[in-house]
Structure 1
Amino acid sequence: MKKSILNALERNQLVDIIYISKKNEITKRKVKILKVLDHDFIAYCFTRHSPRTFIINNVLAIMPVTRNEREVV
Protein backbone atom coordinates (compact mmCIF):
# COMPACT_ATOMS: atom_id res chain seq x y z
CA MET A 1 0.00 0.00 0.00
CA LYS A 2 2.85 2.37 0.81
CA LYS A 3 4.17 2.05 -2.76
CA SER A 4 0.79 3.16 -4.18
CA ILE A 5 0.72 6.10 -1.79
CA LEU A 6 4.24 7.13 -2.79
CA ASN A 7 3.30 6.86 -6.49
CA ALA A 8 0.32 9.17 -5.95
CA LEU A 9 2.57 11.65 -4.15
CA GLU A 10 5.17 11.60 -6.95
CA ARG A 11 2.48 12.10 -9.61
CA ASN A 12 0.76 14.85 -7.59
CA GLN A 13 -2.43 12.86 -8.11
CA LEU A 14 -5.76 13.03 -6.31
CA VAL A 15 -6.83 9.65 -4.96
CA ASP A 16 -9.86 8.08 -3.34
CA ILE A 17 -9.02 5.95 -0.34
CA ILE A 18 -11.11 3.48 1.60
CA TYR A 19 -9.97 3.88 5.18
CA ILE A 20 -10.65 2.42 8.64
CA SER A 21 -10.92 5.30 11.11
CA LYS A 22 -9.80 5.24 14.74
CA LYS A 23 -13.45 4.52 15.62
CA ASN A 24 -13.34 1.40 13.38
CA GLU A 25 -15.62 3.02 10.83
CA ILE A 26 -14.97 2.49 7.14
CA THR A 27 -14.90 5.76 5.22
CA LYS A 28 -14.19 6.87 1.68
CA ARG A 29 -12.08 10.01 1.33
CA LYS A 30 -10.82 12.00 -1.63
CA VAL A 31 -7.33 13.20 -0.72
CA LYS A 32 -4.21 14.83 -2.09
CA ILE A 33 -1.14 13.30 -0.46
CA LEU A 34 1.26 15.92 0.88
CA LYS A 35 3.90 13.93 2.79
CA VAL A 36 4.65 10.26 3.45
CA LEU A 37 6.26 9.20 6.72
CA ASP A 38 7.25 5.75 8.05
CA HIS A 39 3.85 4.49 9.20
CA ASP A 40 1.48 7.27 8.17
CA PHE A 41 0.97 10.05 5.68
CA ILE A 42 -0.36 13.58 5.65
CA ALA A 43 -2.96 14.44 3.04
CA TYR A 44 -5.42 17.21 2.32
CA CYS A 45 -8.85 15.66 2.84
CA PHE A 46 -11.54 17.11 0.59
CA THR A 47 -14.24 15.61 2.83
CA ARG A 48 -13.06 17.46 5.95
CA HIS A 49 -11.53 20.41 4.04
CA SER A 50 -8.29 20.25 6.02
CA PRO A 51 -4.99 18.37 6.24
CA ARG A 52 -5.28 15.02 8.02
CA THR A 53 -2.91 12.28 9.11
CA PHE A 54 -3.75 8.76 7.92
CA ILE A 55 -2.19 5.50 9.12
CA ILE A 56 -0.89 3.55 6.12
CA ASN A 57 -1.97 0.17 7.55
CA ASN A 58 -5.55 1.45 7.86
CA VAL A 59 -5.87 2.13 4.13
CA LEU A 60 -7.89 -0.71 2.59
CA ALA A 61 -7.84 0.55 -1.01
CA ILE A 62 -6.47 3.43 -3.03
CA MET A 63 -7.73 4.50 -6.46
CA PRO A 64 -6.67 7.43 -8.64
CA VAL A 65 -9.35 10.04 -9.30
CA THR A 66 -9.74 10.07 -13.06
CA ARG A 67 -12.75 12.32 -13.52
CA ASN A 68 -14.82 14.88 -11.70
CA GLU A 69 -17.44 13.06 -9.61
CA ARG A 70 -20.00 15.76 -10.35
CA GLU A 71 -19.81 14.92 -14.04
CA VAL A 72 -22.87 13.20 -15.49
CA VAL A 73 -21.96 10.02 -17.34
Structure 2
Amino acid sequence: MNGLFQRSMEEHIPLEMIYLSENQQLSQRKLIVKEMNGDTIRAYCLLRKQIRTFRIENILSILPDSNPKKWVH
Protein backbone atom coordinates (compact mmCIF):
# COMPACT_ATOMS: atom_id res chain seq x y z
CA MET A 1 0.00 0.00 0.00
CA ASN A 2 2.81 2.44 0.86
CA GLY A 3 4.32 1.84 -2.58
CA LEU A 4 1.08 2.98 -4.24
CA PHE A 5 0.94 6.07 -2.02
CA GLN A 6 4.56 6.92 -2.87
CA ARG A 7 3.98 6.47 -6.62
CA SER A 8 0.84 8.63 -6.46
CA MET A 9 2.81 11.38 -4.72
CA GLU A 10 5.79 11.27 -7.06
CA GLU A 11 3.98 10.82 -10.39
CA HIS A 12 0.61 12.46 -9.57
CA ILE A 13 -1.16 9.19 -10.43
CA PRO A 14 -4.73 8.95 -9.16
CA LEU A 15 -5.74 6.00 -7.01
CA GLU A 16 -9.20 4.48 -6.57
CA MET A 17 -10.07 3.83 -2.96
CA ILE A 18 -12.91 2.25 -1.03
CA TYR A 19 -13.01 3.89 2.39
CA LEU A 20 -14.93 3.25 5.60
CA SER A 21 -15.54 6.54 7.42
CA GLU A 22 -15.61 6.99 11.19
CA ASN A 23 -19.43 6.82 11.10
CA GLN A 24 -19.28 3.49 9.20
CA GLN A 25 -20.22 4.93 5.79
CA LEU A 26 -18.62 3.37 2.72
CA SER A 27 -17.40 5.64 -0.06
CA GLN A 28 -15.49 5.19 -3.28
CA ARG A 29 -13.02 7.95 -4.05
CA LYS A 30 -10.38 8.87 -6.58
CA LEU A 31 -7.46 10.69 -5.03
CA ILE A 32 -3.90 11.82 -5.51
CA VAL A 33 -1.71 11.41 -2.44
CA LYS A 34 0.08 14.56 -1.32
CA GLU A 35 1.63 13.43 1.98
CA MET A 36 1.94 10.41 4.29
CA ASN A 37 1.92 10.95 8.07
CA GLY A 38 2.26 7.68 9.97
CA ASP A 39 -1.30 6.36 10.20
CA THR A 40 -2.90 8.92 7.85
CA ILE A 41 -2.55 10.21 4.30
CA ARG A 42 -3.41 13.66 3.00
CA ALA A 43 -4.68 13.54 -0.54
CA TYR A 44 -6.46 15.63 -3.13
CA CYS A 45 -9.92 14.05 -3.41
CA LEU A 46 -11.18 14.23 -6.99
CA LEU A 47 -14.77 13.70 -5.75
CA ARG A 48 -14.80 16.58 -3.24
CA LYS A 49 -12.21 18.66 -5.14
CA GLN A 50 -10.25 19.43 -1.99
CA ILE A 51 -7.46 18.12 0.21
CA ARG A 52 -8.74 15.51 2.66
CA THR A 53 -7.15 13.39 5.39
CA PHE A 54 -7.77 9.64 5.45
CA ARG A 55 -6.89 7.08 8.13
CA ILE A 56 -4.91 4.23 6.55
CA GLU A 57 -6.63 1.65 8.77
CA ASN A 58 -10.00 2.67 7.26
CA ILE A 59 -8.90 2.07 3.66
CA LEU A 60 -10.56 -1.18 2.59
CA SER A 61 -9.19 -1.24 -0.97
CA ILE A 62 -6.76 0.87 -2.97
CA LEU A 63 -5.74 0.41 -6.60
CA PRO A 64 -4.32 2.51 -9.42
CA ASP A 65 -7.10 4.36 -11.26
CA SER A 66 -8.61 2.04 -13.89
CA ASN A 67 -9.29 5.02 -16.19
CA PRO A 68 -5.90 6.74 -16.18
CA LYS A 69 -6.19 10.31 -17.40
CA LYS A 70 -3.39 12.68 -16.52
CA TRP A 71 -4.63 14.63 -13.49
CA VAL A 72 -2.65 17.70 -12.56
CA HIS A 73 -3.20 19.29 -9.12
- Structure 1: which 4+ aligned runs deviate by more than 6 Å? none
Match of 2:5 in 1: 5
| Unmatched segments (≥5 aa) in structure 1 | none
Q: Deviations over 1:5-28 (max 9, x none)?
A: 233323321001000011111110
TM normalised by structure 2 equals 0.80
| Unmatched segments (≥5 aa) in structure 2 | none
Shift of residue 48 of structure 1? Answer: 1.0
Match of 1:55 in 2: 55
Letter in 2 for 1:65: D
Percent of paired sites with the same residue: 28
State the Cα RMSD in Å.
1.8
Aligned pair count? 69
Shift of residue 68 of structure 1? Answer: 5.5
> Hey, what's the Cα distance between the residues in 1 that align with 2:66 and 2:29?
15
Match of 1:21 in 2: 21
Which has more radius of gyration? 1
TM normalised by structure 1 equals 0.80
Greater shift, 9-18 or 34-43, is seen at 9-18
